[in-house]
Amino acid sequence: MGSDLTVVNAARVSYAKESTELTDRDRRLIAFLAREGHTSPFRHAILQYEVYAPLMVARQWWKYVIGSAHYEGTGDSLDAWNESSRRYITEEPVFYIPQADEWRSAPDNSKQGSGGSVAFEIGQEAMERLIGLVDRGVRNYEWALSVGICPEQARLFLPAYGMYVRWYWTASVQSVAHFLSQRLAHDAQAEIQAYAKAILTFVEAKFPVAINELLTKGDDLV
């Protein structure tokens, strides 16, 4: 909803002024707003995404919705999140299973994140063990449904963190910039970093000036 002009016009409404076409003067205004931390105009520009990702990615992502109401000076959050629920649906589960060459080692000097790739043989065994775990979980899940156990309890048999979930995320440009400023970082978890790159592509198409200024000049303010 909106465009870079939305940010400009939200900023100028107190002077009863409105732009109908983005000018260099408007671009300078957006840069000034981002640089000086005048972020409320960015919250009138809204994006909505439908996301399909493993639960471990979804739960990292969710914290940006929880935290978005607490940015200094922002007031109420404009973020919304609605997720599919296995209390109600019984569609075939889909799982994220890294291939043998995609398993990463623990980092040397940190309790979080990851290091380089593990040996291929270890990755191969990890992949096979995870496939076995998923297969057993799905069989147990299907058994529970077949004997009449309700879906909201049958789902307990499914290995949760690798299971794909689907949700709608609606957020202001400011909130999206906050997410991107952290999840595009080189030390962000590789899986969520891949999603952040896709989110950036979409937001750049709709709000190229606003997102560039927020990420390059105001990323410590969002």
For the annotated catalytic residues, the residue numbers are 183
Cβ contacts of 183-187, under 8 Å, gap ≥ 24: 183/60, 184/215, 187/113
> Do the strands 46-54 and 80-83 form a parallel or antiparallel pair, or are they unpaired?
unpaired
Instruction: Say how many C-beta atoms besides its own lie within 10 A of residue 95's C-beta.
Output: 20
Angle at 183 between CA 91 and CA 79, to 5 degrees: 65
- State how far the Cα of 95 lies from the Cα of 26, in Å rounded to an integer: 46
DSSP E strands in the chain: the ranges are 46-54, 80-83, 164-172
